[in-house]
Amino acid sequence: MTGTELPLAGVRVVEMTHMVMGPSCGMILAQLGAEVIKVEPPVGDKTRTLGGMGTSFFPLFNRGKRSVVLDLTKADDRETMHRLLDTADVFLENFRDGLLAKQGLGLDEIKARHPDLIVAGHKGFLSGPYDHRPALDEVVQMMSGLATMTGTMAKPQRVGSSANDIMGGMFGAISILAALYQKRGGKTGGADIRIGLFENCLFLVAQHMVEYEMTGNKPRSMPEREHAWPIYDIFETAGGERIFIGVVTEGHWQAFCKEFGLNQLLDDPTLRSTTDRILARDRILPLVAAKVKQCKVADLSATLDRLNVAFSPINRPEDLFNDPHVQREGGLVGSINANGAPFRAPALPIEWNGASIGDGLKVPPLGGDTAAVRAELDHKTDTARRRA
């Protein structure tokens, strides 16, 4: 799809964010066709120079944007920022409350000077007792109970990605789309949107909170949980590789046991219902494990696929580049880093009229679009003056 065919073509977003939560929101909007202008300080976004697990942060979450450098300690650059906001539909920020006000970009001033602007602030917390606190993905995972559900109370474990930050960016994009929809429907004025990282994590653990609310039973963590299915486990195969198998319906149970010669389980009168089988997992699983141990993972995968039984090899992230489904056309999109080096990343998890989107996006070099954007603003100003 070309940029003019994308749904947000013609929408301008000015972004002043860093790390992951805010930039992921801007990245989603950019891939949907919005023009996203990232305003950076002279030293650049801090994630530009991160290494280790942070190496991918800037290129991944800032593809498809334009980079403008402004020093907001200077009055001229603050005025340039306001001129830029005059041309924008959306303003993204993720700074602690009060910080932007010191630079002439407080919410009250923005509302006064840009009354039609949609302002989306990505924060650690929504309004309340904690709204002054800084927050990180790992912090809110500990606070919300997600870490104890992923690990245990004795050994809490964070989820193995920046899941909350990215999901917070998604909620930011959803909120912005809703605000744009209101404006297209004739609603006048802007919108003041606040997205909370902590509340985002609460949304993720709501299923466990409501389980307790409804039953009075404390939810068990993933390693300690009561299984809802008789076979829902990781098994070792003949080649020493491992595979996850989930047998979750009566039809799956029948087909699985017949295929792998476990007729004694089908004939056992004490295993008639799913509940019976769950209670008998201690004697069922060793029999299943012995059968799986005789199979090579490729052959086993083909058999389970034929039976329509859920399964998965135990992958690492790097393995996904060789997965045939990920390798399909549109599964991965190509991008160009700020230094000119190409890299691949998963496409947005949607298809738009049968096609993936986001291929060919470039990561902007620091300030690479400053001169062009300033020239555009000057041209708009001159045009307005001539018309006046």
Structure tokens at 210: 């409501």
Single-letter amino acid, residue 264: Q
User: Among the options 45, 77, 89, 165, which is catalytic?
Assistant: 165
Strands (E), 146-247: 191-196, 231-236, 242-247
Q: Which helix (H) or strand (E) holds 199?
A: helix 197-215
DSSP H helical ranges for 239-387: 250-259, 263-267, 274-279, 281-292, 297-307, 324-327, 370-387
DSSP state of 61: H
Query: Which residues 6+ apart lie within 8 Å of 58 measured at CB?
Result: 23, 45, 47, 48, 50, 338, 363
State the Cα–Cα distance between residues 117 and 192, nearest whole angstrom: 9
* Catalytic annotation present for 359: no
- CB of 201 closer than 8 Å to CB of 166: no
Which residue, among 91, 115, 103, has the nearest Cα to 29 in the 3D structure? Answer: 91
Which residue, among 53, 42, 43, has the nearest Cα to 20 in the 3D structure? Answer: 53
Active site amino acids? 165
